[in-house]
A and B are shown apart, each in its own frame.
Chain A
Amino acid sequence: MRMKHLIVFIGGLLFGFGLAFGGMAKQEIVLSFLQLKDLGLLLLLGGSAFVTALTINLVPKVLKGPFLGGEFKRRKRTLNRRTIIGAIIFGIGWGISGQCPGSAWSSLGVGNIPVLIGIASMFIGAYIMGRFFT
């Protein structure tokens, strides 16, 4: 259990470092991507998805399971209207503010304190979803 938290923490350090290195902690850079002035974030998304795809698809051929036990599973989600409507609503919020959940945490790490407003709002949005739309 302690080991699991340590591993997740180290992976989180890398995740946050990479987000900040790639500019995601700055809403201005995210917005300049969404306004198609700087397409660099496509490379960030593509690069991270590519490395992850290699891992998820190749490592289970070599190892029987994760080192801490259990089994390797793909991330599976069923496609339905909620998937798409949710993605539309997320896209609107992303385009308005340049924030998404992971990048908001990395923003705190670069001292981008106003994003606390965004994180508090994400909690409220997630609560409204779970409270009234399930």
Chain B
Amino acid sequence: MVPLYYYLALSGILFACGVAGFLIKRNLITIFLSIELMLNGVNLSFVAFAAHWHQLSGQVFVFFVMVVAAAEAAVGLAIIISVFRTRQTLNVDQINLLKL
């Protein structure tokens, strides 16, 4: 038996690591990876609450989060490719315009 707040603490740690990476990192792709880490942390708390409240809808919501993450990854990586093609850099300090 594991207390529910162990799972919530783990989820919080993962989310916090994602936030820290989002703020600290300077590489566009690593920032994107940090967003995925945040989404994963939220997913863990969804599944933990689903097990705690005996509600399967928590697990269904994880699927929706995964679909949104997949769509976000596809569009975001396309934007990254497009930005890299015009600027030749992935450093966010040098990317101040999304306009081509």
Q: Do A and B come from one complex?
A: no
- B: residues with CB less than 8 A from A are none
